[in-house]
Amino acid sequence: MNSSMSGQAEPFSLRAFRYQSRVLVLGAPSAQDSMLLKQLGSIEATLEEFDARELVVVVAVEGQGSHANGRPMTGDDAARLRERLRMNQGAFALRLIGMDGGVKLSVDEWTAMTSIYALIDTMPMRRAQMRDRQNAVSDK
């Protein structure tokens, strides 16, 4: 029986974002973790730059409160994602996933969004996007 007929949601997968968005995965012991809240605050403070880089955020916490791009995730999905991305239990972790699905940054501490944006701006797909946007502006 397929999941839509059984009423159960499809398990979460990063593949849904491939070639659509870059994914910033934030792992933490809880939704109230101080480093998680600081990182989310940094995103909120730079939302225009975040959106310009076609980023989405996935929060994978131990227990309740995980979500992917604003949609709730099950605890099992969050645990599988944390394990797949080698995020230590009981600790904050940040993983940047590129549009190609590869891990581009793996750190276990709060990271300035300006550093993340600078890294993204060196990536081939982002450079092509910026070139295309520049060409569109100059064609007007």
CA-based R_g, the chain, Å: 16
CATH code of the domain containing 47:
3.40.30.10
pTM of this structure:
0.86
Residue 80 · residue 73 · CB < 8 Å? no
Give the pLDDT confidence score for residue 139 in this predicted structure: 65
* 102-124: average pLDDT: 95
Count up the domains in the chain and report the number: 1
* pLDDT tens for each residue of 50-89: 999 999 999 999 989 999 998 999 999 999 999 999 999 9
1 inside domain: no
Tokens of 67: 């979500």
Q: Which residues pair with 105 in a beta bridge?
A: 96
Q: Which domain holds residue 78?
A: 11-138
SS3 content of the chain, % helix, strand, coil (to 5): 40, 20, 40
129 inside domain: yes
Give the pLDDT confidence score for residue 123 in this predicted structure: 85
Tokens of 90: 């009981």
Separation of alpha carbons 83 and 21, rounded Å:
21
Give the pLDDT confidence score for residue 3 in this predicted structure: 39
47 pLDDT band, cuts 50/70/90, is: very high
Give the pLDDT confidence score for residue 5 in this predicted structure: 42
